[in-house]
Chain A
Amino acid sequence: MRKEVLLSDAPGTRVLLLGNEAIARGAIEAGVQFVTGYPGTPSTEIMETLIEAAPHLDFVAHWSVNEKVAFDAATGASFSGVRSMVIMKHVGLNVAADSLQQLKLIDIAGGFVIVSVDDPSGLSSNNEQDNRWYAKFAGLPAIEPADLNEAREMAKRAFEISEELRTPVILRSVTRLGHMTGDLELGEFDRNRREPNFDGTRQWTPFPCLEPERRLREKLRQAGEVFERYEFDVYQGMGSEKIGVVGAGFAFNYAQEAVDRLGLRGEVALLKIGTVNPLPNRIIHRLLNHVSQVLVVEDVTPFLEEGIKAEAQGIHRPIQIHGRKSGALPEVGETILDDVVSALADVVRQESPDRALPSDVLLSKGRAEQSTAIQKLIPRRQIGFCAGCSHRATYYALTKALQNAGIKDPIVVGDIGCYTLGFYPPFSILQTMTSMGASMGTSDALAQLNPSRKVIAVIGDSTFYHAGMPGLLQIAQQQRPVLIIAMDNSVTASTGQQPHPGTWQLTDERTVIPIEDIARAFQIPHVRVVRSLQIKRLIRELEEALVLDVPAMIVSRQACALEPGERWRERTVVAKVDAAKCDGCLACVEEYGCPAFVAAEDGEGKMAIDPVLCNGCASCKIVCPQGAIYLERLEPEE
């Protein structure tokens, strides 16, 4: 369905797309010939969409092992003269940053677009990070869309701009745009397909760097003029308003809606900023020339506020700039409309104390108190592993193995993925987590400095390939007695089951490179592979490995329960609770915590298993001390 829309050559048609799909559509319209990236919420769907479209339009689209590899691969494509795009979440650019800082100095051939999706409030991330600073840091042109149509349009135009300036262009988006569905219009296809052709007569290197550094600054000055042609920045005013409201990219929506809610349309000037770097100073001056107060609405950091403030210094008249830095809006967290409404109301009151404002646009104090009181009654809903998830089985086995081995104060180092939920009940077993792959280096030093304690590092399969391998090499080379548990569920599960070099489930003919082969090649002396749901055996293997004083790896392997193929629809058994045996001890919930465990309807405190939620993995049998859990065979559906 969506695929038809994405491939449709009917410009002007109004369609329904996700923001991330709109960006993908823009790349398709631009005739992109090479795309790659590494999964990461909130950017993942851009790549997934392009992978789906690629065979129909004959371009290359595939996931890379990590963001740096992706960036470097897209670089090779650009050097071959074709339009290329690299896609990642905000933190991905940290991994690719070294490549970014070099490539910026080279005159590229095919248009090169870097899509960076920031995650205000860290809705699906460990941090808030404003990648507009990367544009400024690298000195590269950057733009950010305010809505779906512009997301499509900017993704497309970024290629032209990149080719005109012969420099990479950054397209910054945010979660709310990427994960917003709405209507937009399709644009036209650019039909300039290029034959890949690497020109070996040129030197594709920044060295010696001073001349390229100088040229980069020149390109950025040019970028300012180029951007004006595209009208990414829009001024709406009469030239006489005292108040200006400025919105950066997607945050412009909050600016507009706040103005409407307060009934200020026509009374304040509005400025939408779509160019991040360089800032569009001409249009900013148009606003500054007549206002005495400016409210800047933007996500994550006061990037634009600071830029406007610097510009305002050139105007010899006091202008107050309000925003995240001034304290008018919260310093951290995603922009919230209600905050913008009250900040704007404050600015209006300051400017014209007599101007009456509608009083009912924010929750009344009484109503807000009522909400708070109700929220206190509502139980928290801790997120946990899916029914049938192999990670639950592994953590359960690890807990038991530690008990059996009598290890009371282990250091358990975590990493990033679904398995990070091991921080939470019922296991609460992980103790550290920083960036992807960090479990390897961190456990190496923890083991070195805490020799009397057992150090266990837990790492997901995708994370292992992404950035875990160099750290494992160091552990191996140092012969550090860390027990590494590789949580191998065949896919990059937390971002939606994307493949990686160890994915064995897919039907295509790619080579599979299993984790254990790498560990053995790295000369890890003790490597075992166990099926996660065979819990008894897993416990035994873990116990054995826990007492070794050499590096050891247990690969706990079982396909993700949500793996394409939807195992749970094909289950052959469901688990049931024998009410006569269940004594309501809740060990199943306290030690295993599968979402299919529910209170039995008799109201006597006994447990039951929800037949809809049960995945049929059969692993929970082992956890009931009364042996009350049994399996019932399902009749095969016709």
Chain B
Amino acid sequence: MTRETKAKQGPFNLIIAGVGGQGTIFASQVVARAAIEEGFSVRIAETYGVTQRGGPVYSQVRIGRQVYGPLIPKGCCHLLLGLEPIEALRRGADYLAPRAGVVLNTHVSVPLETQLGKQPDLRIETIERQLRKLGAGELLAMDARAMAEEAGGATTTNVLLLGAMCGFDVFPLSYNSVESAMRATTRPRFLEANLVSLDRGREYALAVKNVNQNN
């Protein structure tokens, strides 16, 4: 199926989930810009308000020839970008479509009440298992924060994951348009670092895919 036909069947639905301060909204803005560069219409719903305070944040991104509202129906998310794994499962549980793609940062941001033993301690292994049980198709789990530290720096973790997402078949936009959207969206000071991490993410996703195909 070509990219063209995919987007015609109704919007492509992407959820980006993280916690405040991780750059969830920035990531969604880059995708949006790439989408209009490719001639699509796009709608993003962003949760605001408490985003700077470590609270859950998620963006719903819909791309298509015609998109009405920004809210994705339950069970209709085609691709889940988990900047933080607990938040990825929180959204995935309700929204994941059968055989959806998942890109997952394995670096858990442990909630305060979990540290105090007042809330469940959800481990990364459980999160991955549950996402698979929900019917996730392609699932790429990676310690994106560690990888980002070695690429453009820890603050580019979101960008690195975005790069990895570009390596997914279900993602309807090309890496080139994401890269050019990144150039248009990033402040000059941070551009260099972002481009390094974006590329590192894509390389990693492609490398993993090659290994899987050869096995």
Q: Which of A15-29 contact B (CB under 8 A)?
A: 16
* A386:B52 contact, CB within 8 angstroms: yes
Residues of chain A within 8 A (CB-CB) of B119 are 379-380
Residues of chain A within 8 A (CB-CB) of B42 are 16, 181-183
Q: Which of A220-235 contact B (CB under 8 A)?
A: none
A-B contact pairs, 10 of them (CB 8 A): A16-B42, A123-B47, A181-B28, A362-B74, A379-B111, A381-B54, A381-B55, A383-B53, A425-B116, A586-B116
Residues of chain B within 8 A (CB-CB) of A16 are 32-33, 36, 42
Q: Is A377 an interface residue (CB 8 A)?
A: yes
* B111:A381 contact, CB within 8 angstroms: yes
Residues of chain B within 8 A (CB-CB) of A180 are 43-46, 69-70
- Of the four ranges (under 10, 10 to 19, 20 to 34, 35 or more), the interface on chain A belongs to 35 or more
Q: Is A337 an interface residue (CB 8 A)?
A: yes
A-B contact count (CB 8 A): 155
Nearest-neighbor residue (CB-CB) of A334 within chain B: B71
Q: Which of A564-606 contact B (CB under 8 A)?
A: 586, 589-590, 593, 595, 597-599
* A375:B154 contact, CB within 8 angstroms: no
Nearest-neighbor residue (CB-CB) of B70 within chain A: A180
Q: How far is the CA of A379 from the CA of B184 in the complex (A)?
A: 37
Q: Which of B24-62 contact A (CB under 8 A)?
A: 28-29, 32-33, 36, 41-50, 52-56
Nearest-neighbor residue (CB-CB) of B133 within chain A: A370
* Binding-face segment, B120-128, B163-171, B191-199: B120-128
Q: Is B83 an interface residue (CB 8 A)?
A: no
Residues of chain B within 8 A (CB-CB) of A362 are 74-75
* B86:A181 contact, CB within 8 angstroms: no
Q: Is A363 an interface residue (CB 8 A)?
A: yes
* A378:B93 contact, CB within 8 angstroms: yes
| CB < 8 Å neighbour of B115 from A374, A386, A597 | A597
Residues of chain A within 8 A (CB-CB) of B144 are none
Q: How far is the CA of A377 from the CA of B133 in the complex (A)?
A: 14
Interface string of A337-378 (1 = CB under 8 A from B): 110010000000000000000000111000100110011011
Q: How far is the CA of A253 from the CA of B73 in the complex (A)?
A: 13
- Between A123, A182, A593, the greatest number of chain B beta carbons within 10 A of the residue's beta carbon is seen for A182
Q: How far is the CA of A381 from the CA of B21 in the complex (A)?
A: 14
* A382:B113 contact, CB within 8 angstroms: yes
Do A374 and B134 contact each other (CB < 8 Å), given the known contacts A16-B36, A253-B68?
A: yes
Q: How far is the CA of A336 from the CA of B70 in the complex (A)?
A: 11
Q: Is B180 an interface residue (CB 8 A)?
A: no
Nearest-neighbor residue (CB-CB) of A251 within chain B: B69
Would you give the shortest CB distance from A392 to chain B, in whole angstroms? 11
Residues of chain B within 8 A (CB-CB) of A593 are 112
Q: How far is the CA of A14 from the CA of B36 in the complex (A)?
A: 9
Would you give the shortest CB distance from A418 to chain B, in whole angstroms? 8
Residues of chain B within 8 A (CB-CB) of A41 are 48-49
Residues of chain A within 8 A (CB-CB) of B94 are 371, 375
Residues of chain B within 8 A (CB-CB) of A261 are 73
Nearest-neighbor residue (CB-CB) of A123 within chain B: B49
Would you give the shortest CB distance from A597 to chain B, in whole angstroms? 7
Q: Is A449 an interface residue (CB 8 A)?
A: no
Q: How far is the CA of A386 from the CA of B50 in the complex (A)?
A: 10
Interface string of A553-564 (1 = CB under 8 A from B): 000000000100
Q: Is A521 an interface residue (CB 8 A)?
A: no
Q: Is A441 an interface residue (CB 8 A)?
A: no
Would you give the shortest CB distance from A21 to chain B, in whole angstroms? 12
| CB < 8 Å neighbour of B45 from A179, A254, A260, A385 | A179
Nearest-neighbor residue (CB-CB) of B60 within chain A: A180
Q: Is B67 an interface residue (CB 8 A)?
A: yes
Q: Which of A507-538 contact B (CB under 8 A)?
A: none
